[in-house]
């Protein structure tokens, strides 16, 4: 089996992993959640309206402030929804797994043993859990 065939096998294993399955279900649930999709559409419309207001020739500071507040409220409501919390949690777990896979591949390319290389120091892409870069 060549490397590309092994990568395809890895892809199949990834899709069978419970973290991927959880993520895929959460993504589909969000796509089918009419209330969430309406909130996202309202957020996008408000963002476009805010962009227009900010870039207007005669900028209305009160309108910009009001739209900013509306945008923040929409965003907070979207991010606090149970569906979005589940999606973000599932995505973070999947991203952590993919990051670990990428670290193994990178360290293997540097000559380290893929069976024993340390993945604990892997950057997750999130500065929230970081102790500092390299």
pLDDT digits (tens, 9 = 90+) for 5-54: 999 999 999 999 999 999 999 999 999 999 999 999 999 999 999 999 99
What is the structure's pLDDT at 17?
A: 98
Let me know if residue 40 belongs to a domain. yes
pLDDT interval class at 122 (50, 70, 90): low
Task: Look up the pTM and report it.
Answer: 0.78
Contact (Cβ atoms closer than 8 angstroms) between residue 68 and residue 47: no
CA 99/CA 116 separation, integer angstroms: 16
Let me know if residue 7 belongs to a domain. no
Alpha helix positions (H), 57-81: 61-80
Contact (Cβ atoms closer than 8 angstroms) between residue 50 and residue 36: no
What is the structure's pLDDT at 1?
A: 82
What is the structure's pLDDT at 134?
A: 44
Let me know if residue 119 belongs to a domain. no
Let me know if residue 115 belongs to a domain. no
Is the pLDDT at 113 greater than 60? The verdict is: yes
Let me know if residue 19 belongs to a domain. no
Q: Greater confidence, 2 or 125?
A: 2
What is the structure's pLDDT at 127?
A: 66
Which range of residues forms the domain containing residue 47? 33-91
Let me know if residue 6 belongs to a domain. no
Let me know if residue 62 belongs to a domain. yes
Let me know if residue 44 belongs to a domain. yes
- Domains contained in the chain, number: 1
| Structure confidence by residue, pLDDT tens digits, 42-56 | 999 999 999 999 999
């Amino acid at each position: 089996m060549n490397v590309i065939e092994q990568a395809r096998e890895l892809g199949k294993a990834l899709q069978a992993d419970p973290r991927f399955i959880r993520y895929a279900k959460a993504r589909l649930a969000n796509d089918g959640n009419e209330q969430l999709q309406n909130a996202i559409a309202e957020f996008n419309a408000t963002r476009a309206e805010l962009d227009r207001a900010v870039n207007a020739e005669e900028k209305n500071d009160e309108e910009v402030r009001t739209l900013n507040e509306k945008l923040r409220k929409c965003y907070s409501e979207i991010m606090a929804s149970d569906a979005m919390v589940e999606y973000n949690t599932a995505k973070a777990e999947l991203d952590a797994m993919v990051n670990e896979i990428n670290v193994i591949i990178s360290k293997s390319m540097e000559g380290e043993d893929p069976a024993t290389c340390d993945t604990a120091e892997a950057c997750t892409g999130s500065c929230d859990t970081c102790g500092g870069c390299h």
